[in-house]
Amino acid sequence: MGSDAIVDIATLTGASLMPLGQLTAALSGNDQPLVDRVRAAAALTDEQVWQLPPEPQHRKQLDSDIADISNLGGKYAGATTAALFLADFVGSTPWAHLDIAGTMHTDTDDLWRSKGATGSGIRILIEIARSFASGQAAPVPLSAG
């Protein structure tokens, strides 16, 4: 028996820092309904995410002459190629990935985050787990559920 879905969080690449900075996590995935579920959880928990396009033409950057797959893409699209690397291992299982390399740490107190390690993404995971446990199609505020 396989998984119904996978939602992973990792400090996968610093490449997401360039376009998104330290307040927004990069979001990728192979299943738009699951990605939308993560986006809904992010909105509910006041965590910022931005979906990156899963451009399959960048996958060739991970081709290797000596391995099944390279863990490092080319000079460009680093956050996308990193997500495509992970996608190789989930197959057809619905999957969403949050790249928190930029959001995992902050130098100052801001919003709900204290200076230092932020715990970025944990609140999203809790909301996703709540929605799956309750059988809801997407996260909803506690008062509505």
Average pLDDT over residues 4-23: 86
Judged against a pLDDT cut of 90, whether residue 37 lies above it is answered with yes
Spatial distance between the Cα atoms of 139 and 87, rounded to a whole number of angstroms: 24
CB atoms within 10 A of CB 42: 23
CB atoms within 10 A of CB 39: 19
Average pLDDT over residues 46-75: 82
Q: Where are the domains of the chain?
A: 6-144
| Band (144; pLDDT cuts 50, 70, 90) | very low
Spatial distance between the Cα atoms of 22 and 138, rounded to a whole number of angstroms: 26
pLDDT of residue 49: 95
Report the predicted TM-score, pTM, of the whole model to 2 decimal places. Answer: 0.83
Superfamily of domain 6-144, CATH level 4: Zn peptidases (3.40.630.10)
Spatial distance between the Cα atoms of 83 and 52, rounded to a whole number of angstroms: 9
Better-predicted residue by pLDDT, 138 or 25: 25
β 95-99/24-29 pair status: antiparallel
| Band (71; pLDDT cuts 50, 70, 90) | confident
Alpha-carbon separation of residue 44 from 4, 17, 26, 93 (angstroms): 22, 23, 17, 25
pLDDT of residue 145: 44
Which H or E run contains 57?
Answer: none
